[in-house]
Chain A
Amino acid sequence: MLDALGDPTRRRILELVRDGARPVGEIARHVPVSRPAVSQHLRVLKEAGLVHDRQEGTRRLYAVDASGLTALRAYLETFWDTALAAFKEAAEAEETREETT
């Protein structure tokens, strides 16, 4: 999921679809990559649970959970992992130092 957000083109695509559902062709006009490449990016975003699609007539529309809660939550999962790993390292370094002095 975080890999999905790590790519600048995918972040741009998310910015485009966060305000409303759009078809691939329209998204492709706003990013400097080919339409097949946009489809590929959308597939990655969909697999990461950041984007969903629906069929409307002949068009397939892509949209996001506009609140971004899924993305925020996933971001904070790694935020806390990193913070607690740093905490553990510090707590145990301090303990070791005390034992050896």
Chain B
Amino acid sequence: MTDPIEPISKSVFVRCDVERAFDLYTQGTDTWWPLETHTRHEEVEGAKVERVEFPTEPGMPILEHLSTGDALTWGELLVHDRPNRIVLAWKPNSNPNPPTEVEITFTPEGEGTRVDLEHRGWERLGALAEEGRAGYDEGWDFVLGRFANAA
């Protein structure tokens, strides 16, 4: 067995109140998200990202809408607790692997908001890898694909 896989933890302080931070993160995603580099549009020939649809109902998908009319999912909303917290089942790909999990919390701090992000659930992918299950090769395909596109 391998060691447990640590979550990725990120934290950023923003000078605005929690409601604004939460709404910008969820309902204004396409105004700030790095659409050129952090999206799936390269999977569809000639496509550009038109907008990102971020639901407010748990169980609904987060969708990247493309200029071609296609919509690609980033995962599913699990918890929507405005303005404190969202939890996402994260799977921005079409591979047959389970999603990882991303939790983002918004906490008032001084004159602004602290945004904490935790990306976890790597053991789900790790377990598949250890079983040697066919078709699971997510990490390298994704990373090498990304870098090949960027090069």
Contact = CB atoms under 8 A, between A and B. Distances in A.
B119 A69 contact: no
Contacts of B13: 88
Contacts of A66: 129, 137, 140
B143 A91 contact: no
Contact of A11 (B125, B136, B148): B148
Interface stretch (A22-30, A41-49, A73-81): A73-81
What bracket does the count of chain B residues touching chain A fall in? 35 or more
Nearest to A93: B32
Interface string A6-42: 1010010011001000000000000000000000000
B89 interface: no
B17 to A, nearest CB: 9
Contacts of B15: 91-92, 95
A5 to B, nearest CB: 5
Nearest to A77: B8
Interface of A: 5-6, 8, 11, 14-15, 18, 64, 66-73, 75-77, 79-92, 94-95
Interface of B: 5, 8, 10, 12-16, 20-21, 24-25, 28, 31-34, 37-38, 113, 115, 117, 119, 122, 125-126, 128-130, 136-144, 146-148, 151
